[in-house]
């Protein structure tokens, strides 16, 4: 089995329940959150065909959110091990912790309401998608995206500032990467990003011309983070379509890390965090791509 294969074992889930964050929350709270989420998923699957005898209380929303947060903290601890796999025993355990934590956090967060405000919605969906990829739930995510097609639709770019325009267009690109509706859908990503490069000259200065120098500099850094994210997205889409460049991992690392650094310097915590998650997601997409699978098969055949 390769170092990057994803299998969430019962053992990993049991170990996860001994993590300090889960213990701090308490068994009762965790059990209630998992029950609530399971019933919500069941209800959305069976609709009105079956009545499930389970009443939610006013505190359940918060209980689910807190449990998802505890599992996410456990996942965050192991993200680096997931990004840079090794055979070291402690790193293998951390990787399993990250996968199991992301799996649990995803199964809880997918039952939460999708925010209505466009930017909140974008961050919510991307965050959920990242948890799904890290927790080996990408197939379930595709179904979720289909079920909520209308709610997750990209917001309009008309009359929004340049930074929001870039953010919304990149969100559209990522929806294409996540829903995997065919080659044409993926092919459109490069066009969207080329379009942004063309629009830059026309719109960029409108957000950078500010009287407050500190605010202008923060905006510039935020744009730099967005440009790195755009480049990484473009490279990822081309790789998924064509299997090139061969050293895609290093390219993704370079752009996501530079993007995180710029978002951090802009003191935009939420943006930096989403870039960290998407970095790992992009690497999971590459690892699970046809090209990597073919590469692994070919290497075995050569050895044979």
Residues that bind another protein (CB under 8 A): 20-21, 23-26, 62, 65-66, 69-70, 72-73, 76-77, 79-80, 119, 163, 196-197, 200-201, 204-205, 208, 213-224, 227-228, 230-231, 254-255, 258, 261-262, 265-273, 276
- From the CB of 193, what's the least distance to another protein, in Å? 9
Number of H helices and number of E strands within the chain?
A: 14, 0
Closest CB to another protein among residues 59, 299: 59
- From the CB of 62, what's the least distance to another protein, in Å? 8
For the chain, how far is it from start to end, CA to CA, in angstroms?
Answer: 17
- From the CB of 143, what's the least distance to another protein, in Å? 26
**CA atoms of 91 and 82, how far apart (whole Å):** 8
Closest CB to another protein among residues 178, 230: 230
Are 12 and 96 contacting, i.e. CB atoms less than 8 angstroms apart? yes
Are 96 and 74 contacting, i.e. CB atoms less than 8 angstroms apart? no
**CA atoms of 254 and 227, how far apart (whole Å):** 13
* Residue 281 CB partners (closer than 8 Å, separation 6+): 129, 130, 133, 134
Q: How far is CA 188 from the centre of its chain?
A: 20
Closest CB to another protein among residues 177, 275: 275
Spatial CA neighbour of 133 closest among 48, 236, 11 = 236
**CA atoms of 247 and 252, how far apart (whole Å):** 9
- From the CB of 223, what's the least distance to another protein, in Å? 6
- From the CB of 63, what's the least distance to another protein, in Å? 12
Spatial CA neighbour of 104 closest among 80, 79, 136 = 136
Closest CB to another protein among residues 119, 172: 119
Closest CB to another protein among residues 190, 289: 190
Closest CB to another protein among residues 136, 234: 234
- From the CB of 43, what's the least distance to another protein, in Å? 26
């Amino acid at each position: 089995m390769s170092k990057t294969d994803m299998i969430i074992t019962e053992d990993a889930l049991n170990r996860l329940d001994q993590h300090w964050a889960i213990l701090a929350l308490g068994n009762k709270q965790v059990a209630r959150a998992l029950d609530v989420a399971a019933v919500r998923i069941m209800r959305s699957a069976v609709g009105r065909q079956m009545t499930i005898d389970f009443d939610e209380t006013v505190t359940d929303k918060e209980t689910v959110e807190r449990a998802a947060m505890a599992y996410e903290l456990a996942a965050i601890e192991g993200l680096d091990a997931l990004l840079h796999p090794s055979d070291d025993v402690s790193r293998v355990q951390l990787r399993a912790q990250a996968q199991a934590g992301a799996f649990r956090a995803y199964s809880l967060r997918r039952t939460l309401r999708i925010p209505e405000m466009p930017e909140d919605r974008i961050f919510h969906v991307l965050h959920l998608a990242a948890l799904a990829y890290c927790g080996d739930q990408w197939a379930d995510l595709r179904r979720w995206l289909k079920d909520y097609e209308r709610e997750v639709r990209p917001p309009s770019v008309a009359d929004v500032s340049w930074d929001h325009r870039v953010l919304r267009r990149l969100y559209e690109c990522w929806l294409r990467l996540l829903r995997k509706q065919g080659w044409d859908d993926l092919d459109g990503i490069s066009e969207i990003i080329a379009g942004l490069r063309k629009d830059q000259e026309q719109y960029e200065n409108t957000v950078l011309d500010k009287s407050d120098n500190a605010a202008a500099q923060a905006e510039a850094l935020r744009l730099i983070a967005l440009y790195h994210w755009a480049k990484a997205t473009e490279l990822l889409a081309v790789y998924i379509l064509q299997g090139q460049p061969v050293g895609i991992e290093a390219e993704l690392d370079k752009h996501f890390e530079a993007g995180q650094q710029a978002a951090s310097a802009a003191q935009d915590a939420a943006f930096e965090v989403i870039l960290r998650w998407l970095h790992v997601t992009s690497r999971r997409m590459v690892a699970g791509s046809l090209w990597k699978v073919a590469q692994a098969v070919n290497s075995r055949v050569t050895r044979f």
